[in-house]
Chains A and B, each alone.
Chain A
Amino acid sequence: MARGSAQAGGMPRRGSPAPPQPNPPKLYAPRRKIHPKRVNGTFRRIKWAVMVVTLGIYYVTPWLRWDRGPGAPDQAVLLDLPHRRFYFFFIEIWPQEVYYLTGLLILAALALFLATALFGRVWCGYSCPQTVWTDLFIYVERLVQGDRNKRIRLDRAPWTLEKIWKRGLTYAIWLLISVATGGAWVFYFADAPTLARALVDGAAPPAAYISVAAFTFTTFTLGGFLREQVCTYMCPWPRIQGAMFDADTFLVSYRADRGEPRGPHKKGEPWEGRGDCIDCGACVAACPAGIDIRDGPQLECIQCALCIDACDQIMDRVGRPRRLIAYETLSMPAARESGERPRVRLIRPRTVLYSVLILIVSGLMAYGLLTRSDLDLNVLHDRNPLFVRLSDGSIRNGYTLKVLNKAHHLRRFEVAIAGLSEARLKSPELGDAAVLRFEVAPDSVRAVRLFVSLPRQTIRARQDEDGELPITIELRDVASAAVYREATAFHAPGASGR
C-alpha cells in the first residue's frame, strides 16, 4: 500500500502528534465510539429527501399492483422464484432471459462508475442502504437520547434507570424499523398482501420467517452498532473508489489554502494573516465516520457532505464566506495558488467512456425488451440417428420443438415447413397430417416431437455437398395468424449416396 494512504478509523493523522506506540504494537483495536452531531444545511436537506424517497421506494414497491390479466400475478415488481419468473411492471422475464438482469447489473455498475468519476462517493454518501439506514438509526437515537453531548454523557453514565429506558426505547424503535425492513424484503418474492396475512397468522413458509429474521438481525446490527465499520472494513467498494477518482473528480474537501493557518478566533479580532478555520471541531463532531476532513482525502470518508453543512453554520456565525469545506477537485487548490481559474471538467475521457457504455447497454436492453416476442420457438435436431431412410426412398429427420408460450392465454398452433409443400409431417403425439395442430397452455413450455420427411427429388435438388439442406419450421398462431419461424437443417445422405 502506498505510504500513508492506508489509515484505519481513529488513527492519528498528519498534523496531530503521534501518541507513543506501545511496543510490540497491539494486534487489535477497540472501536472508538462516534456520536455525530446534528447539522442543518443544504446537504442535510438533500440527504433527508433522498432518505424519504429511497425508503419510500423500498417499502411501497411490493404493494404496487399491475394488472396482467387472469392467471398472472398482479404485483408490479415480483421475483417469483418457484415459477422462475421476474415481473417488473410491463416487463416479464423468463429464466432464459436472465441477461436482462445481467444488463441491469452492468448498468448499475456503470452508473456507479460514472457518478464516482464525477462526484466521488455520492452513492456512499447519499443512497447506499447502509448510509440511509444508519442515518435513520442516528435520527432515532437523537430523538430519544438527545444530541451529541447528551449522548456522550449518557454513554459514560452508569446504568441508571434513565439510561436503561432511553437505551431500551432506542433499541425498541430500531428493532421495529429492522423488522419492517426484513418484512418488506420478503414481499418482493411473493404476493405481498397474501404473504403479509400469512406472516401475521404464522402460516407463511419457514423461508419467509428465516429471511425476515436474518434481515432484521443484519439491519439492527449493521445500522445500530457497526455503522461506519461496515464502510471501512467490510465493504470492498471504498477500496475500488481510489482507482476511479482523478484530479477532476469533485470530492468533499477542506480548502487548506483558505483555512490555514487555523486557530481560535475571538469576535472582533482581525482575519488578516490567518486562515478561516477557527479550529472549532464542528466538522469532526458532525462526521458519521469519525474523521477529520482537514487531514485530506481519507478511505473512511463516505462523502456525506455533512461536514460542509457543519462548517457553513460556523462560517455564517463568524461572518466569513461559506464553503471552507466544499465539493472541489484535487486540481483546484493548485490552480488557485498559481492564480489560474480552477477548471471544471465534467467531460473527460473516462466520463465519456462510461456514458457511452451506459447508452450502448441501455440501448441494447431497450431494443431487446421492445422487440421481445411472446413466443419462443427452439428447434432441436435429432442427432442419433441424424436421418432415417424410409422404404419409398424418402428421408426423414426428427426434431423436438420447444415452444415457450409467454402469453397469458392458451394458444393453438399449426406447424408447417416453409415453402416445401411436399414435406410430410408426422408427430407421435399429434398424428399424421399435412398440417399438425397443437396447443400450448398459458405461460408455459411444451415440447413437441416432429418428424419431417422429404422425397428424394426435393433433397437432390436442394442439398449441399454434405447432404444438408436448410429448412424453416413455421408455427402459425391459429387465432392471431401470427407466424413464427425457426431456421434449421435437414440432413440426408450426401450426394455420394451413403
Chain B
Amino acid sequence: MSTTPDRDEVTGIQTTGHDWDGITELDQPLPRWWLIIFYLTIIGSVLFWVWYPSWPVWMDGEWTFTRGLAGKTARDDVAAEMAQRAAAREADLARLEKADLGTIRRDPELLRLALANGASAFGDNCAPCHGSGAEGGPGFPNLNDDDWLWGGRLSDIEQTITHGIRWEADPETRLGAMPAHLRDGLLGRADVADVVQFVLSLSGRARDAEAAARGALVFEASCAACHGLDAKGQTFVGAPNLSDDIWLYGGREEDIFESVANGRAGVMPAWGGRLDAATIKSLTLYVHGLGGGVEEEPAAAGE
C-alpha cells in the first residue's frame, strides 16, 4: 500500500494515496454544512454536560457526579417511580386488609390484586418447602390437589397459614400427630405389619388378605379415632384420608410401615404476626385458587 498522493487521470482529482491492489480512493472534500453540523453536535454535547448529570467527581471521600443545571437525574426518576408504586401497593394492601375473604373473591379487581400479591408472597415464603409450583414433595403437601389434611375451604386455609401446624409458639396452632406406634410400644411389630396390609387393602393393594383382615381389627382399635372408621381421615386432627391416591409420606408398603411404626409430625410455621393480614388473605386466596380449593358449606358461609 503506497501512501503517495497521486492525481487521478480520469477526474483530475487528487487521490488519498492509498492503493489497494490498484484501487485508489479520490480525496473528496466533505461538504461544509456537514462540518458545521459536526461542530454543532460538539457544542450540543457541551450543553448536555451542563444541563444533565454527566461527569464523575470525587467528593467528600466518594465518587459522585455533577448534577447538571436541570437538577434531575434518571435515578431520581426511578426513586420517584418506586415511591409511587410503593404507595399504590400500600393502598392496595389496605383495601385487601379491610375486605373479608368472601368479598375479595367476589370482586374481580380485588381478587386479581390478591392473587398477584399471593403469588409473589408464596414465592418468597412458602416455596422453599412447598415448591415454586406448590407441588410439594415427600412430607410437604402438594397444594394443587384436592386432598387437604386440615381442610381446603378458605377459612381452613387461612387458619392454617395464620397459626401453623404443630407450631408450639402459637397457642392456636393446629395439633394432632401420628404416634410412633412401634417405637413407643403402642403396637407390636406383628400388629403394625397387619395394619399396614389393611391400609394397603383400602386401595386394593394388600399382599396378604389374612393379615389385612387382622389389621382391620387393629385399625378399628388404634387408628379409627383419628382416621375415621372409613379411613377417610378427619381434617380437625389433620389425619389424612388413607383410601385415596395421595400419600404425603409415600404410598409404598415400607413407607406406610415407617409412618405407623415411627409416627409423623410435620411442622408448618405460624405466619400470623410475621406476615400482615392482607398478605395472609392473599396467600389464602392464591392457595385456594391453585385448583383444589373447597367451597365453604352454606352453614359456614357467614363466618
Contacts and interface: CB of A to CB of B under 8 A. Distances in A.
Interface in B73-130: 108, 111
B291 A426 contact: yes
B289 interface: yes
Given A28-B32, A233-B31, A391-B245, A4 B146 contact: no
B29 interface: yes
B168 interface: no
A28 B246 contact: no
Interface stretch (B5-13, B172-180, B271-279): B5-13
Contact of A28 (B24, B30, B108, B146): B30
B11 A4 contact: yes
B158 to A, nearest CB: 17
A12 B246 contact: no
Nearest to B136: A385
A398 B134 CA distance: 13
Interface stretch (A13-21, A124-132, A413-421, A468-476): A13-21
A449 B119 CA distance: 14
A201 interface: no
Interface string A1-19: 1111011110111100110
24 contacts: A1-B23, A1-B25, A3-B8, A3-B23, A4-B10, A4-B26, A6-B25, A7-B11, A9-B31, A18-B13, A21-B13, A229-B33, A383-B133, A385-B131, A388-B142, A388-B145, A390-B146, A390-B147, A391-B245, A391-B246, A393-B245, A426-B291, A428-B288, A449-B289
A349 interface: no
A428 B291 contact: yes
Contacts, number: 120
A11 B145 contact: no
Contact of B28 (A8, A17, A384): A8
Contacts of A393: 244-245
A6 B32 contact: no
B26 A6 contact: yes
B13 A389 contact: no
A384 B34 contact: no
A36 to B, nearest CB: 19
A392 interface: yes
Given A391-B147, A391-B241, A27 B30 contact: yes
Nearest to A16: B12
B291 A396 contact: yes
A229 B31 contact: yes
Contact of A451 (B8, B10, B291): B291
Contacts of B13: 7, 11-12, 18, 21
B210 interface: no
B144 interface: yes
B14 interface: yes
B132 interface: yes
Given A8-B28, A18-B11, A229-B31, A2 B245 contact: no
Interface residues of B, number: 41
A350 to B, nearest CB: 25
Nearest to B108: A429
A426 B7 CA distance: 84
Contact of A26 (B29, B34, B244): B29
B8 A31 contact: no
B254 interface: no
A390 B245 CA distance: 7
Name the residue in A13, A391, A451 with the highest tally of chain B Cβ atoms < 10 Å from its Cβ: A391
B33 A226 contact: yes
B31 A18 contact: no
Nearest to A5: B26
B145 A390 contact: yes
Contacts of B29: 8, 25-29
A70 interface: no
A22 to B, nearest CB: 9
B135 interface: yes
Contacts of B291: 388, 396, 398, 426, 428, 451
B35 interface: yes
A390 B290 CA distance: 13
Interface in B1-58: 7-8, 10-14, 23-35
Contact of A389 (B25, B108, B246): B246
Name the residue in B23, B35, B133, B144 with the highest tally of chain A Cβ atoms < 10 Å from its Cβ: B144
Nearest to B247: A389
A71 interface: no
A273 interface: no
A385 B147 contact: no
Interface in B132-190: 132-135, 142, 144-147
Nearest to B12: A18
Contacts of A4: 8, 10-11, 26
B293 interface: yes
Contacts of A398: 144, 291
B32 A30 contact: yes
A428 to B, nearest CB: 4
Contacts of B33: 31, 226, 229
B142 to A, nearest CB: 7
A40 B135 CA distance: 82
Contacts of B26: 1, 4, 6-7
Interface in A353-389: 382-385, 388-389
A28 B39 CA distance: 13
Contact of A3 (B24, B145, B147, B288): B24
Contacts of A428: 288-289, 291, 293
A11 B27 CA distance: 11
B204 to A, nearest CB: 11
Contacts of B145: 388-391, 396
Contacts of A11: 11, 13, 28
Name the residue in A14, A17, A383 with the highest tally of chain B Cβ atoms < 10 Å from its Cβ: A14
Contact of B133 (A6, A229, A385, A451): A385
Given A385-B134, A385-B135, A389-B142, 6 more contacts: A14-B11, A18-B13, A30-B32, A385-B131, A388-B144, A391-B147
A25 B30 contact: no
Name the residue in B108, B146, B288, B292 with the highest tally of chain A Cβ atoms < 10 Å from its Cβ: B146
